[in-house]
Structure 1
Amino acid sequence: MSNGKMAIELLVEIVSDIHPYITAIHIREKQKRARELFQTVELLTKNNIPLSKIMINDRADVALVTGARGVQLAFHSLDAASVKEKFPKLRIGSSIHSYLEGRKAKEKGADYVLYGHVFHSQSKPGKSPNGLEELKKLSNLDMDVIAIGGITPVNTEQVLKAGAKGIAVMSGVLEARDPLLAVKAYRNALHNGGE
């Protein structure tokens, strides 16, 4: 997941190295306009990043125009049901913080939910984490739950045992000294934790 803090050229360089080891890249560049997001996707695809791995934060229009896999919706975004109705080919994720929000997202037609933040996170300083107990409840929704927030290779197994189908990581990869080595550590944790 991009963090909105780095030059797009550096992001593309990192993603070019790590994309064989990840299932999706979430373009989360809240300050960028539609044209800039479009250009980011173009740059990624010129560097052999498949559109099938690209999710766009909040902007269904950009996801549709670029041919990206889908859109990640937040509480302030368009309603998932409306996006699903108008753009049925897009994969739709909803960002949630509780079981109740997860249930609503499922009712609205989200394909998966992104739940967080699970643990203390650098991107949410001073905010208490939502924890593993709520994540355990979410496993009853019968939909994919992706966990985010303070996840490390060491605690990945706990997250999977609590019911997450996968993890999303920002600083643990993008701010690592060696992003490729970091991604491989997460991938190993996912495979070992899923057994």
Structure 2
Amino acid sequence: MTLQLHLVTDGKKTREQLVCILSDVHESVDVIHVREKDRSAKEIMEIVEELLASGVPAGKLIIHDRVDVARVMNCYGVQLAYHSLGISEVRKYFPHLRVGKSVHRYEEAIEAERDGADFVLYGHVYPTASKSGKTPKGLDELSSLTRSLRIPVIAIGGISPEKLPELRAAGAGGIAVMSGIMDAKDWVQAAKAYQTGRLAGKEEIR
């Protein structure tokens, strides 16, 4: 099984840095999550416009929370959080968008699938500085979840390239990486390092 590689922006880069990084690495990742929680819809739309102009395909872009931007810019999909619109509402009014849901508990993931999510981001699986003091979910909980869901489970949190074999064995449909690529000195090489643990070929999220 091929693990999808999702790159998640960290909300810490300037607009110029963000566009530069994503333009450079987009060919080395499957999906880019534009997760800029402190930016306005207009600012996010302008970033997407710059990304499209620099050659990043709209079909690789998932917008965090902002269904309006995802729809207006004809992006691949939207990633919903606990405070976002409900999955069923997005499905009803924006049927062409792929819908992901960020979940942290087994019950949330089951509910997300029932409500019509195309995939879930689940974590944090490993210890990570961004979740300091919080207990990671671990591989056993990930395995339990992947056995229960029919939709892909994208693992997030503390993932380094050498962990890919055990994540695949646990049934993950993909991995989501933030600092491992966004904060690397050479983000292109960092993205390629995650590819070395993947099987050849790509799979559409479904």
Query: Are positions 1:120 and 2:127 aligned together?
Result: yes
Paired with 1:61 and 1:170, the residues of 2 have a C-alpha distance of: 24
Paired with 1:178 and 1:191, the residues of 2 have a C-alpha distance of: 23
Q: Which string of whole-angstrom CA distances, capped at 9 and with x for unpartnered residues, describes residues 73-98 of structure 1?
A: 01111110111111000000000112
TM-score (norm 1): 0.96
Query: Are positions 1:150 and 2:166 aligned together?
Result: no
Identity %: 47
Paired with 1:190 and 1:122, the residues of 2 have a C-alpha distance of: 25
Residue of 68, 72, 79 corresponding to 1:61: 68
Query: Are positions 1:21 and 2:9 aligned together?
Result: no
Paired with 1:67 and 1:122, the residues of 2 have a C-alpha distance of: 34
Q: Which string of whole-angstrom CA distances, capped at 9 and with x for unpartnered residues, describes residues 78-137 of structure 1?
A: 110111111000000000112211110001100000001100112212211111111111
Query: Are positions 1:162 and 2:183 aligned together?
Result: no
Q: How many residues align?
A: 193
Aligned to 2:5: none
Q: Secondary structure of 1:55's partner?
A: strand
In the TM superposition, residue 191 of structure 1 has moved relative to its aligned partner by: 2.5
Q: Secondary structure of 1:88's partner?
A: coil
> Root-mean-square deviation (CA), in Å?
1.3
Aligned to 1:129: 136
Aligned to 2:182: 174
Aligned to 2:4: none
Aligned to 2:88: 81
Residue of 98, 109, 125 corresponding to 2:105: 98
Aligned to 2:3: none
Residue of 110, 113, 117 corresponding to 2:117: 110
Structure 1: state its 5+ residue gaps.
none
The residue identity in structure 1 corresponding to 2:54 is N
Instruction: State whether residues 98 and 134 of structure 1, in contact with CA within 8 Å, keep that contact through their aligned partners in structure 2.
Output: no
Aligned to 2:195: 187
Aligned to 2:203: none
Q: Which string of whole-angstrom CA distances, capped at 9 and with x for unpartnered residues, describes residues 145-194 of structure 1?
A: 111000000112111111101101000001011111110110111228xx
TM-score (norm 2): 0.91
